[in-house]
Amino acid sequence: MKKAAILCSLALVGMGYTSQAQITVKKAPLAIKPTFYQPDLINGKPATNLNTRAKNQAIESTTVFWSEDFTSGIPADWTQNGSSANSRWEYRGPSSNPNSNTGSRGAFATGTGTIQSPTRATGFLIFDSDYLDNGGVAANAGSGSAPTPHIGRINTDTIDLSMQSAVELKFNSYARQFFTNYFVAFSKDGGATFSDTIELFTEVAVNDATADDLELSFNVSNYIGGEAEAMIQFIYAGNKPGNINGAGYYFWMLDDIELRSLPDNELRLTEVNGAPPIDITFNGNPAYTKYGAVQIDQLVPISCDANVYNYGAATQTNVSLEVEILDANGSNVTTLTSSASAASVPMLDSVDFTVLNTNSWTPSATGSYSLIYRVISDSLDANATSATDTVIFNVTDNIYAVDWGTTDNFFGSQSSASEMIAAGTRYSLENEDPDSSGAGLVFIEGVDILLSSLTDPTADLEIAIFDTAGFEFGSGFPSNATPVIRRSFTLNANLVGQNTRFPLGAEDSIYDNNTQTWTPTNHPVALNTGTYFVLVNFFPNATDGVIRIGNSAQYFQPAETAIFQTSDGDWFGGFLNSQTFEAPFIRLVVADAPRFDISINEMKATQFSVYPNPTNGLGKVNFEQGGTYKLRLYDMAGNLLLNKELSVNANEDYALDLSKYKAGAYLVNIQGEGMVKTIKLQKQ
């Protein structure tokens, strides 16, 4: 346990993920200019976070000590001391100008709406950074009444909490940021000094926003509990470093602020020393990519862990982690439990993932699984705990994805000061296709890419797959790396604004004995087992055209899960302190081992046989019916090894020598005398 004032918002629990693996690829600065607000679209609708996370909080009665809902405007005993002097918070009320139906008036945030707090109609506060900088005119950036970088500070009156040792701060908030920090500071001496501070919205990416109805709550007992001259300060710091184009912009709205009593029993998930609130470890390795969808042949064991702190006033005993796994029907598949528990956790003490980690589980069938994390104690059972989070994990027949089913933002060309020209994801293909046992191969049908409707429909994409064996990525993408697959595609209007499949295989056909016809099919590409980067190179063609791909910000992924290249040739593993580029919607489509001219309706008559099977290398093909046949031998990658025309008598044997080939699976294809048939032959 670690004693710490871990003050996380319940509304944001589980969102601020960081990788526990060391970063080996450098991160790019978020040098992005503010742009007019224009949401990306999927199928004509704004992209939304599809996360199905659940939160259950025990409801306990609370007593409000102090509150402010701004019904009468900004209280007269509140003060402001912004930098510069004109950097001031504003009141929006039913009779103010502008009124409570108006959000930001800035040139770049226009149209983002207002806070949706319970008492919004009677008034709320806003620090309208965007408007203060440009007066609502994009061409006048930096010429407003208080140009960025600026800081807006507003202080409450002095609050007497001398009789209250356990105190919770609750308020409603709505914020959109561009190189901005948001703080709540606390004073014990009536504002002479502010010795304690909470930073908010660290997980919100540049140009992104929080929910407009966000309710935040914090245990502030260690900050102002028991103090007779407590004061709270809200700080919009529009001077965050790291962007060559300046800082500030956008807004922060506040409403319905309360100081109230704490619940006795409440545990909350939280970050601890950089570890995420909840996490999943694949294959026992924190550096292994966190796959939201895994193709069934590529399954590895997964285990779960969590970090938690005691938010409530009462000490919690025997704190442990339980992860219930449900199938798509809601039936329990298994329950994972932590092997250890924390005997005693006082208020604001934490327990981290070194204690709260579970045994491993490997799915056995395709389907959608709900992983329900519950942190329990002697006072909080699985039905009452507030430390509850649900993650959806999918096992599929053919889809392999690093994203977790969320569309949190889009990235791509013209999204950074140094143009992004390529992006990719890493996939572990460690298990061979079971239908080609011994061949050491995996078969790929194509790549699925989620393209924004803002993507240039005349653009070209190039998809290249690189084997990572021998990569030394710390010094950049290897200059001599050669892709094992490379395909080019030209987009059209029907391919953007949706998840589009780009086939990588070659055209082929399958013979149907029943209809005696050939059916066109796509012949998948064979890869040796290993780990690969799937890269997409961007080539917009329209003037000012862009290519934008969906991104999931469910987790901070381990190093090298996702990479991108800028026009100066540098490679990066994402952006600094941001999930804007974390898990791209660049999905592998895994196929079964191919069939080469295989009969769909196999003939009942045994017209030929291959024996012995398996063979040590010297086999025979026996022809029951005499005649003229073509015999072809393929490896499981589809390479033609033998092509021979035979004239045989009835019941004649033909010697088939595989001694010069490595152990594995092969396909023996026979065509002739009205018959096409293929048999898989295993060489030991």
How much of the chain exceeds pLDDT 90, in percent? 57
User: So what's the pLDDT on residue 245?
Assistant: 63
Which tens digit of pLDDT belongs to each residue from 222-243?
999 999 999 999 999 998 876 6
Which tens digit of pLDDT belongs to each residue from 146-162?
999 999 999 999 999 99
How much of the chain exceeds pLDDT 70, in percent? 85
Which tens digit of pLDDT belongs to each residue from 20-57?
333 357 777 665 455 554 556 665 665 554 333 333 34
Structural domains in the chain, sorted by start: 61-262 (2.60.120.200), 278-400 (2.60.40.10), 409-591 (2.60.120), 608-683 (2.60.40.3080)
Max avg pLDDT among 142-151, 516-525, 620-629, 630-639: 142-151
- The band of 135, judged by pLDDT with boundaries at 50, 70 and 90, is very high
Which residue is listed with tokens 């996380």?
A: 8
- The rounded mean pLDDT for the chain is 85
- The band of 7, judged by pLDDT with boundaries at 50, 70 and 90, is very low
In whole angstroms, give the CA distance from residue 90 to residue 92.
7
Three-state SS sequence of 558-569: CCCCEEEEECCC
User: So what's the pLDDT on residue 55?
Assistant: 38
Q: Which residue has the higher pLDDT, 581 or 171?
A: 171
User: So what's the pLDDT on residue 204?
Assistant: 83
Q: pLDDT at residue 430 above 80?
A: yes
The helix or strand, by DSSP H or E, that contains position 224, with its residue range, turns out to be helix 221-224
Kindly report the backbone phi and psi dihedral angles of residue 14, in degrees, each rounded to the nearest multiple of 5, phi listed first: 90, 0
Task: Give Cα separations from 445 to 21, 72, 298 (angstroms).
Answer: 31, 64, 15
Q: pLDDT at residue 269 above 60?
A: yes
Tokens of 458: 């005349």
Q: Would you say 523 and 504 are in contact if contact means Cβ atoms under 8 Å apart?
A: no
Tokens of 63: 């007593």
Q: Region 60-75: what's the mean pLDDT?
A: 91
The helix or strand, by DSSP H or E, that contains position 134, with its residue range, turns out to be helix 129-134
Q: Would you say 253 and 114 are in contact if contact means Cβ atoms under 8 Å apart?
A: yes
Plot region of 303 (φ>0 → left; ψ -120 to 50 → alpha; else → beta): beta
Which tens digit of pLDDT belongs to each residue from 100-132?
999 999 999 877 899 999 999 999 999 999 999
Residue 601: burial class (beta carbons within 10 Å; 0-12, 13-18, 19+): exposed
Which tens digit of pLDDT belongs to each residue from 434-493?
887 778 889 999 999 999 999 999 999 999 999 988 777 766 788 778 899 999 999 999
Q: Which residue has the higher pLDDT, 259 or 522?
A: 259
The helix or strand, by DSSP H or E, that contains position 184, with its residue range, turns out to be strand 181-187
User: So what's the pLDDT on residue 384?
Assistant: 85
Laid out side by side, the sheet with 664-672 consists of 640-648, 627-635, 664-672, 675-683
Which of 439-462 are b and which e, b meaning 16 or more Cβ less than 10 Å from the residue's Cβ? bbbbbbbbbbbbbbbbbbbebebe
pTM: 0.79
Q: Which of 311, 139, 333 is nearest to 217 (CA)?
A: 311
Max avg pLDDT among 69-83, 406-420, 547-561: 69-83
Q: Region 318-339: what's the mean pLDDT?
A: 96
Q: Which of 326, 324, 340, 339 is nearest to 374 (CA)?
A: 324
Q: Would you say 565 and 429 are in contact if contact means Cβ atoms under 8 Å apart?
A: no
User: So what's the pLDDT on residue 27?
Assistant: 75
User: So what's the pLDDT on residue 603?
Assistant: 42
- The band of 601, judged by pLDDT with boundaries at 50, 70 and 90, is very low
- The band of 679, judged by pLDDT with boundaries at 50, 70 and 90, is confident
Q: Would you say 208 and 177 are in contact if contact means Cβ atoms under 8 Å apart?
A: yes
Kindly report the backbone phi and psi dihedral angles of residue 322, in degrees, each rounded to the nearest multiple of 5, phi listed first: -130, 130
Q: pLDDT at residue 523 above 70?
A: yes
Identify the three-state secondary structure at position 589.
strand
Q: pLDDT at residue 670 above 50?
A: yes
Which tens digit of pLDDT belongs to each residue from 272-288?
877 889 999 999 998 89
CA dihedral 85→32→124→147, nearest 10 degrees, is: 20
Q: Which residue has the higher pLDDT, 92 or 623?
A: 92
- The band of 568, judged by pLDDT with boundaries at 50, 70 and 90, is confident
Q: Which of 389, 350, 345, 395 is nearest to 368 (CA)?
A: 395
Q: Region 257-261: what's the mean pLDDT?
A: 97
Q: Would you say 144 and 216 are in contact if contact means Cβ atoms under 8 Å apart?
A: no
Laid out side by side, the sheet with 652-657 consists of 608-611, 618-623, 652-657
